[in-house]
Amino acid sequence: MMEIGLNHYLILSTILFAIGLVGIMRRKNLLLLFFATEILLNSVNIAFAAISHYYNDLTGQMFAFFVIAIAASEVAVGLGLLIVWFKRHGNVDLDTMSSMRG
C-alpha cells in the first residue's frame, strides 16, 4: 500500500491554489470571487498543516488557525457589503461595481 507523504499534500495544495487563482481571474460575480478566495486560503492551510506535521512542529498549524480566523472575518465583512450592494443595485456583477459612491 502506498503511503501518503508530504509531496502529495503539497501537490494537492498547489492544484487547489491554481483553481482558486483561475477562479479569481475569471469570475465576474462577487460571490464566486469570495469562494475562489476561500479556496486559495484553504490551499495555504493544507500546506501549512502538512509541513507542520512533517517537521513535528506546531507553528504551521498555528498559522493555519490564524488564517481560518482571518478568513472568517473577511467573509463576514464581505458578505455584509455584498448584501448591502445587492439591496441597492439588484446585482453583484463586478463590471457594474466600478464606483462605490453612496
More confident residue, 97 or 16: 16
Specify the 3-state DSSP secondary structure of 58: coil
**Cβ burial 43-75 (10 Å sphere, 16+ → b, else e):** bbbbbbbbbbeeeeeeebeebbeeeeeebeeeb
What integer best gives the mean pLDDT of the chain?
88
pTM for the structure as a whole: 0.81
Q: What is the CA radius of gyration of the chain?
A: 17
Q: Which residues contact 20 (CB under 8 A, 6 or more apart)?
A: 36, 37, 38, 39, 40, 43
* Residue 87 CB-half CA count within 13 A: 7
- What structural domains and CATH numbers belong to the chain? 6-96 (1.10.287.3510)
Q: Is the pLDDT of residue 89 over 70?
A: yes
Mean pLDDT, range 95-101, rounded to an integer: 65
Beta bridge partners of 29: 93
Report the alpha-carbon distance of residue 93 to residue 75 in Å, rounded.
Answer: 18
Query: For residue 28, what pLDDT band results from cuts at 50, 70 and 90?
Result: confident
